[in-house]
Structure 1
């Protein structure tokens, strides 16, 4: 813990220096981060019980830097547009492939997440995923990229190309739509982040109706905080990255980690 305190003093100095470089880098200016619930609130952002893994970690890291930060939660398109237009300081949790024209990314990720297929509970055992060939003849709901933000597929290129080749992809506007379609038997599978998918199932009151296939994942990807280039200085982003890496070594981080992932991180589950 003393080691973390020492790094915190050094990093606060970095932020103080950054503050002399201009208004966007000022530690006195509250950072406004937005998100679409990905690694966000499990219950309520205003409550102390379970505001979300990303919220708790980022709050702690910026508190150690003496940097105030706030969080707002919007639908994905609205959240990204607020970043693209320079109205907010960044996204709480996203992939490196999204928003690269508008955002800068720290070197250190928040977490490594798995993308998996979800099916209706009634279809467990009947529908499987041991290889891509298991998806032939079955429809799969996939969130489409957000126009103007990312033209990259929201799943692995291998899966994206396979589904397009076999014409069984059903594009949706967001994960909620994918899971609702799955619950209504309008598609056979839905693919999304394991963390996000499980939190959305709870929010949509679909627990017991939809389950992930954990025997094999679709892909693993790092999840990052991204910062709006026009509003946040590189010095502050670097300080955040160093502080996040150090915070991950503390018991406080481990307590947050166990709180949201009592059975291990998404990347610890079977491949």
Structure 2
């Protein structure tokens, strides 16, 4: 009946519901107006699929799932929780074994048995559970940003601290991660900034295929737009972006093509 808005620990406003609309509520929450909640930009679709999944079966979970994902596009995956969206992504990433089916990258069949092999084949996977699977919360931003590509930040047996610092500062600036320093513990950051650290971790790999599983769950509307802008920049670079989401406006607002799943 009434809505009260709090921002940064301070009371902002309270009004009867008929005096609020979507835009005024967002402005009160974020502290600035967001002209476009879904700033969709279009890239150039690759001629050939970057990722092909052909009749993948995982007993009791996935039933002959096939799809093609192209560079320069966002492919949205819609469906209810438990429909098999996350499960097919985990199968592609080698986190769960499949019983049958083929996976091709740029037309060539690959046999991915582990996430390590998936990373080697240029796949990045931002899991829906950022705290449990995407980050090491007790470690610093600096450490988390290099976790998916330790080799790339090493000189021989040792980590190259200069290279890590340079890449980290660049990630913080380009992703607009709000933090006192690169050595802040990730567990101390807000949900939106934690999600940006996860994205930074994958941007620091040589990935061509980015899988975003519920990328904006639990983060504020301002941070959501910044995540969408990261997706746009990847699409403009010709990368392949797959977005799993339970939010229909997000699917409709940001996808080029949409795949719907139900019951595996």
Could you say which TM-score interval applies, normalised by the shorter chain?
Answer: under 0.3
Structure ranking higher in helix proportion:
1
What TM-score comes out, normalization by structure 2 length?
0.27
Query: Which structure has more strand as a fraction of its residues?
Result: 2
TM-score norm. by structure 1 comes to: 0.26
